[in-house]
Amino acid sequence: MSLLGMTGTIIKNLCAGPVTERYPFVPKEYPAGARGKVNIEINKCIFCGICQRKCPTAAITVTKEPKTWVIDRLRCISCSACVEVCPKKCLALDVKYSPCSVAAQKDSFLPDAGTPSQTA
């Protein structure tokens, strides 16, 4: 039976610095292999549509004509199912999440266009 069981821990905590990360001043470091947002190397993509069929949340839409690859960032659950099935290995998971957004955010990728065009 003790009354001040936490005292030792509290003194230790007072001497040590804060445990929490100093975000946003110190950027968060993600471990390798963390599941974040899906990236695509669009020029390697053959628009076969397997990722669209295997996506459990139907976040990906692929069209052959015209060639587009569209992902709904808010539907994506970063499960990496698409990355595993991609025959050309042009999909990869970033360790970081996609930036916060308040509205539905679709990223469209077109071949030869470097940056994605965003539509709300």
Partner 1 sequence: MSGRTVIPFGPQHPVLPEPIHLDLVVEDEKVVEAIPSIGFIHRGLERLVEKKDFVDFTYVAERICGICSFIHGMTYCMAVEELLKLEIPERAKYLRVIWSELSRIHSHLLWMGLTADAFGFESLFMQSWQLREKILDIIEETTGGRVIFGSAKVGGVRRDISADKLQDILKKLRSYQNQFAEIGGVFLRDATVKHRMQGVGVLTSEQAQVLGAVGPTLRGSGIAADLRMTGYAAYGKLGFSPVVETAGDCYARCQVRIRELDQSVDLIEKAAAQMAEGPIEVKVAGTPTGDFFARTEQPRGEVIYYAKGNGTKFLQRMRVRTPTFANIPPLLTMLGGCQLADVPVIVLTIDPCISCAER
Under rule CB under 8 A, residue 98 binds partner 1: no
Q: Which is nearer to partner 1, 77 or 104 (CB)?
A: 77
Three-state DSSP class for residue 18:
coil
Contacts of 78 (CB under 8 A, 6+ apart): 35, 36, 37, 38, 93, 97
Indicate which single residue of 11, 27, 56, 101 sits in contact with partner 1 (rule: CB under 8 A): 56
Contact between 38 and 76 under an 8 Å Cβ cutoff? The reply is: yes
Which of residues 50 and 93 has its CB atom nearest to partner 1 in the complex? 93
For residue 85, state whether it binds partner 1 (rule: CB under 8 A).
no
93 binds partner 1 (CB under 8 A): yes
Query: Which of 2, 115 has the CB closer to partner 1?
Result: 2
